[in-house]
Amino acid sequence: MTVRSSLRPARTPRRERVAEQLREEISALMLRDMKDPRVRLASISRVSVSPDLREAQVMVSALGGDDERHAVVDALRHAEGFLRGQLGARLENLRSIPHLHFELDESIAYSIHIDSVLRELDTDSQ
């Protein structure tokens, strides 16, 4: 028998559907409707929604240096009101649109770093 931690509630199918809808719609808005050029080189890698559907953590992957990647997250944070307004018009299945908390997803940058270290080790061994 597994004991679930109160800090990590079970993911329900509804929460997963809402998270996926948010990911798809925010990605589409970034490509088509946002005027800020900083968000063109970014994508939404993952969305997690709180149990009450009032908060959403949006993980953002972006290309470029540290300053450029952080600028993307800043641009999305600045555009939260616009994004929530657009999501409200698009997602009729939600009573209220969650507050969006944008965070930089470091996993891609980390994997690129590991790849470069491994390539460097490979060339050193030859």
Which residues have C-beta within 8 Å of that of residue 71, sequence separation ≥ 6?
38
pTM recorded for the entire structure = 0.79
List, as one string, the DSSP characters of 53-116.
SSEEEEEEEE-S-HHHHHHHHHHHHHTHHHHHHHHHHH-TT-SSPPEEEEEE--HHHHHHHHHH
Q: Determine the Cα–Cα distance for residues 32 and 17; give it in Å rounded to an integer.
A: 22
pLDDT digits (tens, 9 = 90+) for 89-102: 999 888 899 999 99
Q: Determine the Cα–Cα distance for residues 86 and 67; give it in Å rounded to an integer.
A: 28
Tell me the pLDDT of the chain (126 aa) as tens digits: 444 444 455 678 899 999 999 999 999 999 999 998 888 879 999 999 999 999 999 999 988 888 998 999 999 999 999 999 999 999 988 889 999 999 999 877 777 778 888 888 878 776
- Per-residue pLDDT, 8: 52
Q: Determine the Cα–Cα distance for residues 63 and 77; give it in Å rounded to an integer.
A: 17
Query: What residue segments make up the domains of the chain, in order of their start?
Result: 13-125
Pairing of strands 99-104, 55-62: parallel
Decide which of 3.90.1300.10, 3.30.300.20, 3.40.50.300, 3.40.630.30 is the CATH code for 13-125.
3.30.300.20
- Per-residue pLDDT, 65: 84
Name which of 31, 17, 16 is nearest 83 in CA terms: 31
Residue 76: exposed, middle, or buried by beta-carbon count in 10 A (0-12, 13-18, 19+)?
buried
Q: Computed from CA positions of residues 103, 28, 23, 44, in that sequence, does the dihedral angle turn out positive or negative?
A: negative
